[in-house]
């Protein structure tokens, strides 16, 4: 028996599969066709969602598959993911049995499990996702984990292809927030734009570095694609000549386990909000954000509501790429 195809982190997606997924996303855009008739897709969410869940449910409906949605804390047993623990605490079921059982009932699975932001080593290992992948005998799609948000990265790459269509300077810029957020989206965007061979600049205040292994892999991917990857603490300089401004808040890993210090840190650079003056430094850049976004904290209304903003096109692209990954997971080419 061959191992099922899992989509866990964009860094493990090779170039042919990357191209296949983006090509299939275009082929499947606006397509309502029972390519997946009789197939079943199960989703387990440890965290809330608007876009990811809706896009998979609609993708399944459009392609003739059935979607099952399970929410931890909303009717699903509380799940333990660590091996070797005596389960005498709050968790009633282990991921091994949970995902093992689901694998017997569906043809593909999805899992959302955000970073705990307490133990940096645990988040870097993506323990919940890895445990689920080991237990799943059907393909497992990450719906965002501690380290990556593959479907967001795919949709972001597709959006830039559609809006720009050529190698460009893409700035992934840190933005303020009221509380520290995980690094997964920033990792995914950086990796996706590197995979596309763009000139990627990751801009953030000192102390907000992305995971070193992600940056090293992204730098290799960008170079292989004819682009580049740099990091800087000087956002104004980074924005010069940018065609894409991708804003995202993320927490300082140095404050892991200390929510108050983490919150103070992400609130201490309000000037990193993306406003019209920041956008004016660019080469008529488009503005991107994965959503949800806090208006007036991350980005000024004038930018989000203005002609440069493509955030809703980005969100719409989630449906297209998720149809593509569903089809690949189910062994179907459109």
Binding stretches for ligand CP (CB under 6 A)? 49-52, 144, 152, 290-291
- Tokens (6 digits) for 56: 């998979």
CA distance from start to end of the chain = 25
Nearer Cβ to ligand CP, position 263 or 316?
Answer: 316
What's the min distance (Å) between Cβ of 49 and ligand CP? 3
**What is the smallest separation between the CB atom of 268 and ligand CP, expressed in angstroms?**
25
Whichever of 98 and 110 has its CB closer to ligand CP, that residue is: 110
The residue (of 152 and 195) whose beta carbon lies closer to ligand CP is 152
Which CB sits closer to ligand CP, 259 or 291? 291
CB of 51 to ligand CP, least distance (A): 4
Closest residue (Cβ) to ligand CP?
52
Q: How far is the CB of 174 from ligand CP (least distance, A)?
A: 17
Q: Which is nearer to ligand CP, 41 or 219 (CB)?
A: 41
Minimum distance of ligand CP from residue 167's CB (angstroms)? 25
CB of 291 to ligand CP, least distance (A): 5
Cβ closest to ligand CP, residue 212 vs residue 312 = 312
Taking the complex as a whole, the smallest distance from the CB of residue 37 to ligand CP amounts, in Å, to 26
């Amino acid at each position: 028996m061959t191992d099922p195809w899992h989509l866990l982190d964009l860094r493990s997606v090779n170039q042919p599969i990357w191209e296949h997924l983006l090509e299939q996303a275009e082929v499947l855009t606006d397509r309502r066709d029972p390519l997946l008739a009789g197939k079943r897709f199960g989703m387990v969410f440890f965290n809330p969602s608007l876009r990811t869940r809706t896009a998979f449910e609609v993708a399944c409906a459009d392609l003739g598959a059935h979607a099952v949605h399970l929410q931890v804390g909303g009717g699903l047993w509380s799940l333990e993911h660590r091996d070797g623990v005596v389960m005498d605490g709050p968790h009633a079921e282990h991921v091994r049995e949970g995902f093992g059982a689901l694998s017997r009932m569906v043809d593909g699975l999805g899992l959302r499990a955000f970073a705990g932001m307490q133990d940096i080593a645990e988040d870097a290992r993506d323990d919940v996702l890895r445990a689920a992948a080991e237990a799943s005998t059907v393909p497992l799609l990450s719906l965002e984990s501690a380290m990556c948000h593959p479907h967001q990265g795919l949709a972001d790459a597709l959006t830039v292809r559609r809006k720009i269509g050529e190698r460009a300077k893409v700035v992934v810029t840190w933005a303020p927030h009221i509380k520290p957020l995980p690094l997964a989206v920033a990792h995914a965007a950086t990796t996706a734009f590197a995979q596309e061979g763009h000139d990627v600049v990751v801009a953030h205040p000192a102390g907000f570095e992305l995971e070193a292994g992600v940056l090293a892999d992204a730098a290799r991917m960008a170079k292989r694609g004819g682009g580049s990857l740099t990091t800087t603490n000087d956002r104004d300089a980074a924005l010069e000549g940018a065609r894409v401004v991708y804003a995202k808040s993320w927490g300082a890993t140095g404050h892991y386990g200390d929510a108050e210090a983490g919150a103070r840190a992400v609130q201490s650079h309000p000037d990193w909000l993306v406003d019209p003056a920041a956008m004016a430094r660019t080469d008529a850049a488009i503005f991107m954000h994965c959503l949800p976004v806090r208006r007036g904290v991350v980005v000024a209304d004038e930018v989000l509501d203005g002609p440069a903003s493509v955030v809703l096109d980005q969100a719409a692209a989630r449906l297209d790429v998720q149809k593509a990954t569903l089809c690949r997971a189910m062994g179907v080419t459109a």
